[in-house]
Amino acid sequence: MRHAYVTTETDHTSRALPGGTGEVRVTIDRAAGCQNLVQRVCRFGPGRSAEVRHHVSEEVLYVARGRGAALVDGRSHALAPGTGLLVPPGSAFAIDNPGPAELTLVSILSPQPDRAPGQQADAELRADGRLTASEDEEQAIAAGDDRVFRLLIDPRYGCRNLTQFVGTISPGRSPDHTHTYEEVVYILEGEGVVHAAGERYRIETSSCIYLPPGTPHCLENTGTGLLRLLGVFCPAGSPAAKQEAR
């Protein structure tokens, strides 16, 4: 049984982004045992980044802090806290941060850059060209008595490999459960414990978690406020699709 992999953003070496407008840290990839996803935390200073293109991978991003715009194939998409963004494979994109504050994006790539896609959803890009989803505009969906999630980028937006969502967990612990998909998590706010296959891992803001498929786990909120997290899993599906661990 593979256990969870838990790390923090600052445990990983930063490298300069193309164009010198910021930095990126790769927090979860194949070295962590993950087969289909790469999690990165990107921090952009004021200015426009160099243009980047992923020829095979989809990229989904989430705005953790700051404001700006993403230029995808020449079209501008506004970025604000709580925004999810899809960059389709083959698209040229850049990030424009008007400043003065830093813009922090949590990025997931799938498939991993040197691998072929696995199981994919039958999805098409929206006819209106929209590539962003706003947390405030999405329906809150209950997943038990103590947790709520909101879907962001998923097959509704033409994403074929991934589902991106934001979840909130009230103080306390729910029963252990399992998923059939790989999942990576970034803690946006709060503190707690990951229970996975009999192990305990402390988590806090900016903690990064990898959960292999089939691993019995739960996230416990040990604080007094809500625990907020960004989750992305592959293949695409519903965060409510789980089985209680036995």
CB 86 within 8 A of CB 151: no
Q: What angle do CA 92, 96, 97 make, to 5 degrees?
A: 155
Cis previous bond, 175, omega within 30: no
Annotate 43-63 with DSSP letters as a single string.
EE-SEEPPPEE-SS-EEEEEE
Q: Give me the pLDDT at residue 240, please.
A: 64
Residue whose structure tokens are 């406020």: 225
Residuewise pLDDT in 10s, the chain (246 residues): 457 899 999 999 999 988 878 999 999 999 999 999 999 999 999 999 999 999 999 999 999 999 999 999 999 999 999 999 999 999 999 999 999 999 999 999 999 988 888 889 999 999 999 999 999 999 999 887 788 999 999 999 999 999 999 999 999 998 898 989 999 999 999 999 999 988 999 999 999 999 999 999 999 999 999 999 999 999 987 776 655 555
- Torsion angle, CA of 66/206/12/163, rounded to 10 degrees? -80
Q: Could you tell me the pTM of the whole model? A: 0.94
The DSSP bridge pattern shows strands 207-211 and 141-142 to be unpaired
Domain ranges of the chain: 10-134, 136-244
Class of domain 136-244: mainly beta
Q: What are phi and psi of 157, to 5 degrees?
A: -100, 5
CATH of domain 10-134: 2.60.120.10
From the number of C-beta atoms within 10 Å of its C-beta (0-12, 13-18, 19+), residue 224 rates as: exposed
Report residue 51 as tokens. 């243009």
Q: What whole-number distance in Å separates Cα of residue 41 and Cα of residue 105?
A: 6
The candidate with the shortest Cα–Cα distance to 148, out of 240, 53, 224, 72, is 240
Q: Give me the pLDDT at residue 117, please.
A: 86
